[in-house]
Structure 1
């Protein structure tokens, strides 16, 4: 085992809310969210930005990387608890394939303050 993949994260996934006709909406029910612990990953700093317009905000980016040959069940809209923060997934998980096999997976995470 390499010392690089020593962190543990928790994936928080909330079901979609149904409208009064039973159709799934884009809104999530975070009070009914499930939590899945994922061990032996790496979470490292990624790009961050500051916006000082009418509503100042700081967007902090982190990158979650799995070990070689390991995938992760993470989809857009999920949240991730990592390094003491509650982060949003930023897009789809990138799955790196080498020689027809999964090499590793990477996910961008972000936290917006402001």
Structure 2
């Protein structure tokens, strides 16, 4: 048994709505929240990647890495958010679905997440 995949996240998926100016945007107040157990979330890279922008206000962006165990294809999109350990993280780019070299099915997924403070 691996202790690597013992964390739980909440996948947050917001519906796309049209505002009064006919712009499409995500409605995070009415998002679906689905818990997902058996994943691994770690700070991304060594050293942990972070960026700071102090032009208008203090902002820190920190990267995280999400991975599922072998054989798990998590329903996660680049437009979703992830709640983990008291943080709300945004999916940063496309979700990587790694193929199994023998079956062609998804072996596991990896996603970069970012926390914006």
TM over 0.5: yes
Q: Does 1:89 align with 2:87?
A: no
Task: Give the aligned partner of residue 110 of structure 2.
Answer: 106
Q: Any idea what SS the aligned residue of 1:71 has?
A: coil
Name the structure where strand makes up a greater proportion of residues: 1
Q: Any idea what SS the aligned residue of 1:35 has?
A: strand
TM-score (norm 2): 0.84
Q: Any idea what SS the aligned residue of 1:31 has?
A: helix
- Determine the C-alpha separation between the residues in 2 that align with 1:86 and 1:54: 22
Q: Does 1:57 align with 2:59?
A: yes
Structure 1 spans left out of the alignment, 5+ residues: none
Q: Per-residue displacement from partner, 1:1-37 (whole Å, max 9, x unpaired)?
A: 31100000001111011356xx7x4311112111111
| Deviation of the 1:82 alpha carbon | 0.7
| Deviation of the 1:101 alpha carbon | 2.9
TM-score (norm 1): 0.86
Q: Any idea what SS the aligned residue of 2:94 has?
A: coil
Q: Does 1:68 align with 2:37?
A: no
| Deviation of the 1:54 alpha carbon | 4.0
- Determine the C-alpha separation between the residues in 1 that align with 2:100 and 2:52: 36
Structure 2 spans left out of the alignment, 5+ residues: none
- Determine the C-alpha separation between the residues in 1 that align with 2:79 and 2:24: 10
- Determine the C-alpha separation between the residues in 1 that align with 2:25 and 2:107: 34
Q: 2:82 aligns with which of 80, 92, 95?
A: 80
Task: Give the aligned partner of residue 17 of structure 2.
Answer: 17
